[in-house]
Structure 1
Amino acid sequence: MNRIVFRGGTLFDAVSRCADSADVAVEDGRIVEVGTGLQGDEEVDCTGRGVLPGLIDCHVHLTMTSPDLFESVQEPFSLQFYEGARNMARTLAAGVTTVRDAAGADLGMRVAQERGLIAGPRMRISLNMLSQTGGHGDPWWPSTCVVDLLPPHPGRPPVVVDGPEEIRRKIRELVRAGADVIKVATSGGVVSGGAGPRIPHFRDDEIAMMVTEASAAGLHVMAHAHGEGAKAAVRNGVRSIEHGHFLDDETLEMMAARGTWLVPTLSAGVGLRHAIEAGTGYPDHVVEKIKQRTDGSVRRAVEAGVPIAMGTDAPLYPHGENLLELELLVDQGLSPADALHAATLSAANLMGLGDTLGSLTPGKRADLVLVEGDPLDVAGLGKRILAVYQDGRRVHEADHAR
């Protein structure tokens, strides 16, 4: 059995949230030892380099590429899967070795990655996002035309539902189609044609049914949610709040007490503002919602002790530039080490993968990212990626590292 030693790097220990010099020994795709002076059959010289656990993005949309929804809906149906393969490769090259796809990717994409047909991060998939009639995921627009970014197909069921019994059946369909997590919109959104983020969607009995049915299948619920919609989601037991603007003190207190995660997707706001500046043709009411997006909820969540996990909402900010999110988290009050924790062990724990991913710990899968310089310096970290390893196998090497 071949033993590879990554020697002399500065390791980020996600458990202690510190960095220090150490070697990592890998056998058969697993970390077997961490220490100094380790011996192996092969060596990777990490002198002067940081060594991070494989990073995790808890909120991406791999089948989407453009933030311009009107451009996207005019593309051929199957193009999304070819673009998805490219987006997976770009994400992996950014040091992100695991993702949670928050609507779009189907079971075939996940299986293709697992079988080595496509280079990319390992995936947890939601398939699509439950929406009430007139909600954030309802493709109907006032013109009566349909603008559906996620048109249904056999691997991605339609998801506009109303009432607990419709929800029960739909979740069972999603589980049958291969969902690893259930995604719901419990409030309006920014770029949809309907209500804005302050308007709650679904009632308590409906959200409770989602959590009950997901739990019966061993799954969690993630909620696109703002304001009162987020409060209802937390009250009824969702696992994570995605985006999370307009969160009041009561909601934050409940989240901290219950251990409900916040996935802030700060990069999305930057990407949407860039899209407006570039002249993307959003309607005026969508532009107005984008301008109202930032409200300080993330900083207050950090102060309240709400657990944070990294998610980007790519492609609202481009796939492959995921690590901007680390800098934005620091801007909102996290230390660099805490931001890295949000992208490693916290993210793994949110996704139920903490036993196998998220830290450079013996027994875990050997996902490692080699970076130039200090791993605790998150500024511009995405431009300092040198090599990415997944299960101990090098899956990306930067041109400047060769």
Structure 2
Amino acid sequence: MSSSSAAPGLSPATDRAPQSLCAREPRVPADRLVAEMVPPPRFDSVRFDTYVPDPGQPSQTEAVRVLAEFAAGLGGAHPAGAPRRGFLGFGRPKAHRSPAGPRGVYLDGGYGVGKTHLLASLWHATPAEPALKAFGTFVELTNLVGALGFQQTVRTLSGHRLLCIDEFELDDPGDTVLVSSLLGRLVDEGVALAATSNTLPGKLGEGRFASADFLREIQGLSARFRALRIDGEDYRHRGLPEAPRPFTDEQVTRTASATADASLDAFPQLLDHLAKVHPSRYGALTEGIGAVCLTRVRAVPDQSTALRLVVLADRLYDREVPVVASGSPFDQLFSEEMLNGGYRKKYFRAISRLTALARDGKKLVGAAAGD
């Protein structure tokens, strides 16, 4: 097959050796951590008008309206040290650097209701230069503090109009206090905030972290946030077919060889490799990968391994990297004990996202087989 006639996503050379994630040991300099605080590739083109509210969930439509107004109130970039506009767009003198009232919004909802879509849409809709607004996960934010130090992070982000934090981690009290202190300093500097969060250990409920708990955990910042509840079911499975069944090792290997820039790894070895790479580098680990092909998928053996896999699933989903796998189906990755424990929301999110990527991967398998 010539390169001109190759199917999209397929390599014209079907006999080349695929890449291996296990052979990668990425290094990420601190300045890159700052430059990459933008919505991930999956959310490059999302906007409020591309969010499709569930007709049976009016809170979704209301959230779009409120967030659009929120973004409009953040208009106008400001130079460092200049008077800044308040949360609702009203000017405030430099002598009053910490105004009363809300300075942020918290999106409260279960996995798969589109919180990240809305958070990224808010970032895109905020009328400021990209360099004056930041978007990252809680883990990326704590990594930035680790790389730059607390004071330098404050200085780096204090000139921003908006900081969006996706998947605010509340599992580690130390990190929660650290980030809460950082956000307090940024609010005092005029930075508006927007956040989603995960579940506290022991909080089962609906698989979502309730706004009352979030506001309690961020302590002195609670009065600065307006909570928006977003009800609904996981949109990734709304009206869609079930996840594809796992393929055979032969199908996975053939697809890896036929797909441009694909990686091929045995799942147990990949789990071992993830333990040697800091989660802040999982994005770099998957950079340039066209598809992730995995053989011998099985249930993860312990909680630490499971949490690393969750981060990898998030980075793959952000980058829209299809997944093709053999072995156990993705809904069997985590034990019943894990799915009933304090990190249940993370595990269900990982299953949801890997299932969505497996649907994309199924197309590659068919193309590699000539179907």
TM-score bucket of the superposed structures, by smaller chain: under 0.3
More strand by proportion, 1 or 2?
1
